[in-house]
Amino acid sequence: MSTSATGQFDTISWDEHPFGEANGGSKLARATVTNVFRGDIEGRGTLEYLMVYHDDESATFIGLEQVVGRLADREGSFVLQHSGTYRDSVATGTWTVVPGSGTGDLSGLTGEGSFEARHGQPATYTLRLTLD
């Protein structure tokens, strides 16, 4: 089954801590984040980000997020690999479903997509998914 999934998510918690500085003074930080998904995916995500904050107030980030919930009429969990940037109060990124991470009815899930999160607003997402 191949499908597209669209919707929104809200970040309901963000716990960030610096862990160092890169050359030139850029700040390194990690954050534990909780997201609540609605739309074609209904559920909750637990996310760990690693970020580099640049001198121009932009940032580059990577992360792994375990999403537990429902996709259409299927329940289970899967892991999203994040990669993106933050600039001018907007985070944009890409997602890849980590191969082999699906559980329950979502076992065998693969796919990729993107998201955009404007500060103070719900984020939007689009995923192209295949479920064996």
Tell me which residue of 74, 63, 70, 62 sits closest to 44, measured CA to CA: 70
pLDDT at 46: 99
pLDDT reported for residue 55: 87
Domains in the chain, ordered, with CATH?
2-131 (2.40.350.10)
Diameter of the chain measured on Cα atoms: 50
Nearest 5°: the CA angle 23, 24, 26 is 85
**Is the confidence at residue 12, as pLDDT, over 90?**
yes
pLDDT score, position 27: 93
pLDDT, mean over the chain: 96
Note the pLDDT tens digit of each residue in 25-59.
789 999 999 999 999 999 999 999 999 999 888 99
**What pLDDT score was predicted for residue 21?**
81
pLDDT at residue 88 greater than cutoff 80: yes
- Evaluate if residue 22 carries a pLDDT over 70: no
